[in-house]
Amino acid sequence: MATIYAVGVGPGDPELLTRKAERILRQADVILAPISRPGEASVALDTVRKFLDERRQEIILHQFPMTSDRTRLIPAWQEAAALIAARVAAGQDVAFITIGDPLLYSTFIYLLRIFRETCPQIAIEIIPGISSINTAAAAAGVTLAEAEERIAIIPATAGMDKVVEALVTYDTVVLLKVKPLFGELLEVLGRMGRGQSSVFVERVGSPRQKVLTGLAEMAGHNPDYLSLMIVKQPGSCL
C-alpha cells in the first residue's frame, strides 16, 4: 500500500537533511510543498530540489494562506488532504515536505488530524527534521539548556503577557514568529534587563543567515519572517 511521508527538511541547508529524509524524497512518486501565496518560492522545495528527479516525480505546490482565519485555512487543509489521499489511492507514495520538523508548528499537523479522522487506513510515516531552534543555537553558539535548566518555546504572536510570563518562569525562552511584534519584543527585553542575554537569528542555514546579539545590534533591523530569538537569564554568557 502507498504511504504518506511527512518529511522534515530542516531549516534550509541541504546538508542538514537526514539520510532517511533524502532516501524517502528520492523514492517518492509525489512531492507536495506548502506555500503561503501563489507564485511564492517554497523554502522547503528549494532545500531538497537537488535530491529530486522532476522528470519522474510530480511536484505540487499547494497554497496554505498565511492567516489565522480558520474559514480560509480549513478548506486549504481539506483540499490538500483530499489531493494527497487521491494520489495514495492510485498507489503513489506522497512526501509532504516542511521546513524544520513536521510536528513542531508545522502545517502537516492539521493534515495529520484529517487523515486520522477520515482515512485511518492510510499508512503515514513521519520523518523528523532538524529544527530552526537547534540550528539557530548552533549558529549563535548559545546553549539551550543544561543540568536542571528549563526551556520554553513560544510564538511571540501569543501575546506580550505570555512572553513576559515565559521570560520570568524559564531559564531559556525561544521566541518564534517574532517579526510582527519585533519592536514590542525589543522594548520588553530591554525593560526586563535581557538586552545582553538575547540573540536574534534570521534565515538560519541559508546564505541569508544573520545572527545579531544584544539589543544594540537588533535595533533598527527589519526581521525576515523566518527568524527567531533565544533569550537567556540576565548575566548568561552568549
Q: Which CATH number do you get for residue 190?
A: 3.30.950.10
What is the rounded CA–CA span in Å between residue 185 and residue 144?
A: 19
Task: Give the N- to C-terminal CA distance of the chain in Å, as an integer.
Answer: 50
pLDDT digits (tens, 9 = 90+) for 165-206: 999 999 999 999 999 999 999 999 999 999 899 999 999 988
Query: Does residue 48 share a domain with residue 160?
Result: no
Lowest mean pLDDT, pick from 36-50, 128-142, 153-167, 180-194: 36-50
Residue 238 within a domain: no
Of the three residues 100, 127, 154, the one that is the final residue of a domain is 127
Query: Does residue 115 share a domain with residue 13?
Result: yes
User: What is the domain range of residue 37?
Assistant: 3-127
Residue position matching grid coordinates 537537488: 50
- Whether residue 236 is predicted with pLDDT greater than 80 in this model: the reply is no
Query: Does residue 104 share a domain with residue 16?
Result: yes
Beta-bridged to residue 210, according to DSSP, are 202
Of the three residues 105, 127, 149, the one that is the final residue of a domain is 127
Q: What share of the chain is helix, strand, coil (3-state, %, to 5)?
A: 40, 25, 35
Count the domains in the chain: 2
Query: Does residue 74 share a domain with residue 20?
Result: yes
Amino acid at 36: S
- Whether residue 150 is predicted with pLDDT greater than 90 in this model: the reply is yes
Q: Is the pTM of this model over 0.85?
A: yes
Query: Does residue 146 share a domain with residue 90?
Result: no
Question: Where residue 41 falls among pLDDT bands split at 50, 70, 90?
Answer: confident
* Lookup: cell for 166: 515565559
